[in-house]
Structure 1
Amino acid sequence: MDYAELPLPPELDGFVAAVWTMSAGGDGWIEHEAAPDGCIELIRRHSGRSVWREAQPPLFVTGLAQTTAKLAFSGDARFTAIKLWPWAWHALGGALCPGFADGWRAIAATDPLAALLPESGDPLPALVRAFASISLPPIAAVRTAATVEEITRATGLPHRSLQRLFARDFGMPPRSYLRLLRFRDALIEVQSSPEPLADAAAATGYADQAHMARDFRTLAGLPPREARARAKGPFV
Structure 2
Amino acid sequence: MSARCTVTANYLRTVPELRRYFASVFLIEIDVADGGAIEDFMFPDWATLRFNAQPSIAGNTRAGEPLPNSRFIVSGPRSQEAYMHTASLRQWGVLLHPLGWSLLIGEPASAFANRLADGMTHPAFAAFRPLAATLYGAEPDREGELARLTDFFLGITPRAEPAEEAIMRAYHALDDPEVDSVDKLAERAGINRRTLERLCQRVFGFPPKLLLRRQRFLRSLSQFTADPSLKWVGALDAGYYDQAQFVRDFREFMGMTPSEYGQRCKPVVEPVLRERARYRSEWLRERQLGAYLPG
Q: Structures share a fold, TM > 0.5?
A: yes
Residues 23 and 78, structure 1, Cα contact 8 Å, conserved in 2 = yes
Shift of 1:42: 0.5
Q: Read off the aligned partner of 2:254 and give its amino acid letter.
A: A
Q: What code does the residue aligned with 2:51 have?
A: R
**How far 1:184 moved relative to its partner?**
1.9
Q: 1:157 to 1:215 in 2, by over 3 A?
A: same
* Residue 18 of structure 1 pairs with residue 8 of structure 2: no
Which amino acid in the other structure matches residue 41 of structure 1?
Answer: T
CA contact (8 A) 2:113 2:206 kept: no
User: Which residue is equivalent to 1:140?
Assistant: 171
Alignment partner, residue 146 of structure 2: 122
Give the structure-1-normalised TM-score.
0.79
Question: Residue 23 of structure 2 aligns to which amino acid in structure 1?
Answer: A
Matched, 1:201 2:206: no
Do the aligned partners of residues 9 and 78 (structure 1) sit closer, same or farther apart at CA in structure 2, a change above 3 Å counting?
closer
Partner of 1:60: 73
Comparing 221-230 with 87-96, which one deviates more in the overlay?
Answer: 221-230
Q: Secondary structure at the match of 1:36?
A: coil
Distance in 1, Cα, partners of 2:105 & 2:243: 40
Displacement of 1:4 after TM fit?
0.9
Give deviations 1:29-82, integer Å, cap 9, x for gaps.
Answer: 322221212x00110111242222131320121102222112221x22332211
SS at match of 2:44: coil
SS of residue matched to 1:47: coil
* Structure 1 residue matching 2:53: 3-state secondary structure: strand
Residue 175 of structure 2 aligns to a residue in which SS? helix
In the alignment, is the contact (CA less than 8 A) between 1:48 and 1:78 conserved in 2?
Answer: no
Structure 1 position 165 matched with structure 2 position 171? no
Give me the CA root mean square deviation: 3.4
Q: 1:98 to 1:216 in 2, by over 3 A?
A: same
Unaligned runs of 5+ in 2: 60-65, 275-295
Bigger radius of gyration among the two: 2
Q: CA deviation at 1:9?
A: 5.2
Q: Distance in 2 between matches of 1:13 and 1:184?
A: 22
Instruction: Kindly state the Cα deviation for residue 214 of structure 1 after the two structures are TM-superposed.
Output: 2.5
| Offset, 1:219 | 1.6
Indicate yes or no: 2:127 matched with 1:111.
yes
Amino acid at match of 1:195: L
For 2:31 and 2:248, locate their aligned partners in 1 and report how far apart those are by CA, in whole Å.
29
Structure 1 CA distance for aligned equivalents of residues 43 and 200 of structure 2: 21
Are 2:221 and 1:187 equivalent residues in the alignment?
yes
Match of 2:107 among 91, 95, 108: 95
Offset of residue 225 of structure 1:
5.6
Q: Determine if contact 2:58/2:69 at 8 Å carries over to the other structure.
A: yes
Aligned length, in residue pairs: 232
User: Does the 8 Å contact 1:48/1:76 carry over to 2?
Assistant: no
Mean Cα deviation higher: 153-162 or 220-229: 220-229
Gaps of 5+ in 1: none
Distance 2:153 2:242 in 1: 39
Measured in 2, the distance between the counterparts of 1:195 and 1:9 equals 32
TM-score by length of 2: 0.65
Segment drifting more, 106-115 vs 217-226: 106-115
The worse-fitting range, judged by mean Cα deviation, of 116-125 and 177-186 is: 116-125
Say yes or no: does 1:31 pair with 2:46: no
Residue 216 of structure 1 aligns to which amino acid in structure 2?
Answer: F
Tell me the distance in 2 between the aligned counterparts of 1:17 and 1:184. 15
